Amino acid sequence: MSQTVDRALSILPLLAQGPADLGQVAERLGVHKSTALRLLRTLHEHGLVFRQGDQRYRLGARLFALAQEAVENLDVREIAHPHLVELNEQCGHTVHLAVYEENEVLYIDKVESRYPVRMYSRIGKPVAITVAAVAKLLLADLPEPERRVVADKLDYPMYTSRSTPNAVAFLRELAVVREQGWATDLGGHEESINCVGAPIRGADGRAVAAMSVSAPNVVVTREELLTLLPLVRRTADTISREYSGTTRPKKA
């Protein structure tokens, strides 16, 4: 790995937390001001960083443009979206779409109760990987050795008393999910929130994404939410079919 690039890229998450001036950047990077300045300049020339009125640095528009392209290239999202909306119209609850990437599970789409999605709402956040239904689905689909390696590396925070406590329990849960082809999160992340989810599979049978429906206890009980399972699975299967039918990654 390249030290210079490593330092430069470390600036990005730093600025994502909020604007910072040259001194702060240099200090938090552990380098001299002049070094930080040159890194920032380079980032600036590529538009990833922006200087606002009072000399402070912020993430720039180019980064947003790149982020846009990054998700647009995930064509699962395009295909799935209308189906997520439809599902939302039928049940009224929040619908999520997530993918697995590099030891993380990220939400890439979301439909909130009755209103159309707004870009940049809360999509893009990593999910609570040890408890979320979509995370279980995606991890359960990994090849066995990788699954175990990932499970070992994870932390197992006890969000609630129902959270997955450790790797052993997690792997056991994944085996169940793998077997039954769907997953739940019953108060494992927040005590009052339940989810049911199902995988979206590509032509080769592997899970390319996962979707879930979430609702708080006060709206529907666990049992009522579980009655939506067939609908969720049917939607996921529909998306799977459309995805594997239209996706033809030519040039082999």
Site residues for DNA, 12-71, by CB under 7 A, read 21-23, 31-35, 37-39, 55-56
Q: Which residues contact 15 (CB under 8 A, 6 or more apart)?
A: 25, 49, 57, 58, 59
Taking alpha carbons only, the member of 180, 186, 181, 156 closest to residue 169 is 156
Question: With binding defined as CB under 8 A, does residue 30 bind a second copy?
Answer: no
Q: Are 50 and 63 spatial neighbours (Cβ–Cβ below 8 Å)?
A: no
Q: Binds 195, which of DNA, a second copy, none (CB < 5 to 8 A, cut-off by type)? A: none
Residues 209-248 that bind a second copy (CB under 8 A): 242, 244-247
Helical (H) or strand (E) element with 146 = helix 144-153
84-113 positions binding a second copy, by CB under 8 A:
99, 101-102, 104, 106, 108
Closer residue to a second copy in complex, CB, 45/224: 45
Stretch in the footprint of a second copy (CB under 8 A) among 52-60, 130-138, 178-186, 192-200: 52-60
Contacting residue, 2, 155, 161, 223, with a second copy by CB under 8 A: 2
Structure letter (DSSP) for residue 248? -
Q: Which of 237, 202, 195 is nearest to 91 (CA)?
A: 195
DSSP code at position 93: S
Q: How far is the CB of 235 from DNA (least distance, A)?
A: 20
* Rounded (10°) angle between helices 167-180 and 144-153: 140
The smaller minimum CB distance to a second copy, of residues 7 and 162, is found at 7
- Candidates 27, 32, 34, 66; binder of a second copy (CB under 8 A) is 66
**Residue numbers at the binding site for DNA (CB under 7 A):** 1-7, 21-23, 31-35, 37-39, 55-56
